Amino acid sequence: MNRLIVISGCSGGGKSTLLAELGRRGYPVVEEPGRRIVAEQTRSGGGALPWVDMTAFLHRVIELARRDLKAASPSDKWIFLDRGLVDAMAALQHVTGEPLLKALAGEAQHYHQLAFLVPPWPEIYTQDSERRHGLADAMAEYSRLLEAYPALGYDVCIVPKATVAERADFVLGALRTRMRKLFA
């Protein structure tokens, strides 16, 4: 059974905070590929940054997301990923117009069938040195992901706007419910 759980959705919607809470609860967590690329490119003075060369940035994110998939060792625990390959491919498709998601549909499903998306939450949205785009761009990205995941066969579960503990309880509860249904 695939125990790789992707948490995706709107930038600035609380994904990283939710994943930090799941990590505090003892679950393995994989940090967002895009933020890792931004940090690495900033340190090295590289140009593969979303505000410099979006296409180069997204190619690196795809490469890192694929490495994350290969590096994820089988576990008896859920492994939570902050975004993943679908997010990067959907973004690159948006930028280039190439039908990349069609190509991805031909591959095996990479993550657990249940994908969690955090919705736009303007009250907590902030920009920072790694997130320079505005809320409108984040909401457009969310709309694309809301279409991409189901198009690839994933069941989307929207994470409610709630406290971080309630959000973590929701995610874990949804996974337990899915497991009970599978083995009933």
Distance CA 86, CA 88 (A): 6
Walk along the chain (184 residues) and give the pLDDT tens digit of each residue.
588 999 998 777 788 899 999 999 999 999 989 889 998 998 999 989 988 898 999 999 999 999 998 888 677 889 999 998 999 999 999 999 887 887 777 665 788 999 999 987 656 546 555 645 566 777 889 999 999 999 999 999 999 999 999 999 999 999 999 887 767 6
User: C-alpha angle with apex 164: 153 to 139, nearest 5 degrees?
Assistant: 50
Measured from the Cβ of residue 164, the count of other Cβ atoms closer than 10 Å reads: 15
Domains observed in the chain = 4-182 (3.40.50.300)
Residue 121 is given by DSSP the state -
Summarised one tens digit per residue, pLDDT across range 105-123 is 766 578 899 999 998 765 6
Measure Cα distances from 131 to 9, 34, 92, 127, 183 in Å.
14, 10, 17, 5, 41
Distance CA 6, CA 151 (A): 16
CA max distance for the chain: 54
User: Taking the model in full, what pTM does it have?
Assistant: 0.87
Name the residue among 84, 59, 58 with its Cα closest to residue 71.
Answer: 84
